Chains A and B, each alone.
Chain A
């Protein structure tokens, strides 16, 4: 397959994943804020911080209130990290690689884009937000379902798998970082109850609550949750799972050696090497390093397959 199409498949999957994870994040954050004790000073703006959007946010907003933050996260077309921007980019990648995808992919992304355009305002508005976000999540899942069920699992599909899993791994490390930072800001007040609320919501944001319960058979606390989301190889949003699947995708692609090599570096960081005893600064540093490794892995994929060179 063409390098150019491979790249578009990869980015399409990443952007679709971003649409879904942003919707999940906003949804869970609202839930979390309702449960946090009033005296803890964590507001909506934390969401902007966690998504590395502070600079961009400051350019256009003064008030760091719920409305502005949600608008920034969902509807803002000047924010390249917003749900709306990710959706536009996903559609653009599909539009320019339609020859490699099932026909319905194009129709589904159009449907979702039409809905998003018509309802974006309602999505920002608190009363209708839930419905809007659920439709976004459902729309992406429908497309992923179509691609899994109707598309030949050929090279194009393997590149989507690379993109999706890399994006998921990245998102999971960010979510863990988010939880750790909330608890650190709460400081000494971290009662067992607050711990459970934060980690529980974080699990929910990744649809991991139920799977965690079933496979870990333990109560919700920082260390087992972090271990689960980094090391588990059965749950699709756990970093361990993502790494296994990236590796598996590579074995189905030509000339994969340089990427596989890089992958084993990241793998060594993800599995073991951290004891989860202290989930404050050291844990956040650990996550940060992991994100850098993931960025590195992306670079390896790009250099190996996408860059147009005479082979």
Chain B
């Protein structure tokens, strides 16, 4: 006995694979019928194989539990999520459009601020932003691009359309898991790659390398590139090491680098100091340079900002790029796209209420139990209120927070996130679970979008929280070209 898709009911929600009980969507036809041909026992064997493979590949993430730092194996569901190539091509265009506009916006903020003068965004947006970095005023990084690497979170609503949930412009993570998910699926379901035309994802490290190389101030053909990690206790350390290895560059920690009197960055090597041209930094702005930001930071490099401002080192992402990675700025992105590109946004925003605006705040407070309230400036799914799932006490607590610090909060409708069949260990059967998608966009003199992205899935029934630190898992994401067959 295998999977009986006619028993799989996504209900009112948009399911990525099955449109209604028994009916797989077109790009997922072959996948669904193949899965059906396996017995539940065989399916379970594949699941176990995936688990063992991930453990062997050492694909882990770290979880902080007070004092201890535990390395956990990456939670993975073997049933891929399938998106048609046609739909993806349009989505990728939308992502490029969005990042292009956001970078023009950031560059404008650090120069003439025309966007404020022209009344597109209010001035207080910058004045109150904790990510706006005055030390960056007047600087133009290569190509005028501040956010070279962006991870944009997309969700699908009931209507099957993608919406942007947030833009991660600081140090977005997850791309290594996207690549490892594919590697695991190739080992677990090799036969599926014969039938479907599944577009490859493996070119990301080369594209990342090329993008970083294009930031080299010396413009020579073999720049010295490094990945700067906060260290082994960072939850994304696995990814830092993975990317450094794939690109064949050094993985460095703050203590490995030094800025000399010539305002150049060097790394401490066995032969002495060696000049560094480009740093892919995975350390947050605030810890980047103790001369400028946190004085006691051990993670950063003293003088790094000096070297960057002098144009002696490329930094990706540029310091200060986070100013556009703010949930309040988010609400203005459609106008920002229109303003700089004179185009309509290809991918829509989720409807957003700014608690800072009196009228909108009144609406939010009146409808708190229906809405999702997010702090303007946190990541990792922390500090979020999901109205329909919250207790009376939590609601009252958030109402108080919103009134006290309106600038810090935004609210959005509770979305009906799309689902995909996910194996449930207890029954061995697939059940619908909510998911999102994080594609990665690279931008310097050119723009590149990953083929698909990282699909994160809430493994608990009904849950909308997909963060791996809070019980989320992931799936391989297939962009399938069904026209080509």
Contact = CB atoms under 8 A, between A and B. Distances in A.
A305 B270 contact: yes
Interface stretch (A32-40, A105-113, A164-172, A265-273): A105-113
A101 B57 CA distance: 14
| Interface bin, chain B | 20 to 34
Interface string B50-72: 00000111100000000000000
Contact of A107 (B56, B242, B248, B267): B56
B153 interface: no
A254 B270 contact: yes
B33 interface: no
A214 B242 CA distance: 46
A2 B55 CA distance: 29
Interface in A84-126: 95-99, 101, 103, 106-107, 110-111, 114
A4 B231 CA distance: 12
A99 B250 contact: yes
A114 B253 contact: no
A310 interface: yes
A305 B268 CA distance: 10
Contact of A99 (B241, B255, B258): B241
A180 interface: no
Contact of A95 (B241, B253, B258, B268): B241
B273 A2 contact: no
- Chain B contact residues: over half helix, strand or loop, or mixed? mixed
B255 A308 contact: yes
A110 B256 contact: no
B269 A3 contact: yes
Contacts, number: 73
Contact of B245 (A99, A254, A308, A309): A99
Contact of B268 (A99, A103, A311): A311
A60 interface: no
B245 A255 contact: no
B249 interface: yes
Interface in A143-173: 155
B55 A1 contact: no
Contact of B252 (A2, A106, A114, A305): A2
B395 to A, nearest CB: 44
B188 to A, nearest CB: 16
A6 interface: yes
Contacts of B271: 254-255, 311
Given A4-B256, A4-B268, 6 more contacts: A98-B251, A99-B245, A99-B250, A106-B57, A110-B56, A255-B271
Interface of B: 55-58, 227, 232, 241-242, 244-245, 248-253, 255-256, 258, 267-273
30 contacts: A1-B250, A1-B270, A2-B252, A2-B267, A2-B268, A4-B255, A4-B256, A4-B268, A6-B270, A95-B232, A98-B244, A99-B245, A99-B248, A101-B245, A106-B58, A107-B58, A110-B55, A114-B56, A155-B270, A253-B270, A254-B270, A254-B271, A305-B270, A308-B256, A308-B268, A310-B258, A310-B273, A311-B268, A311-B271, A311-B273
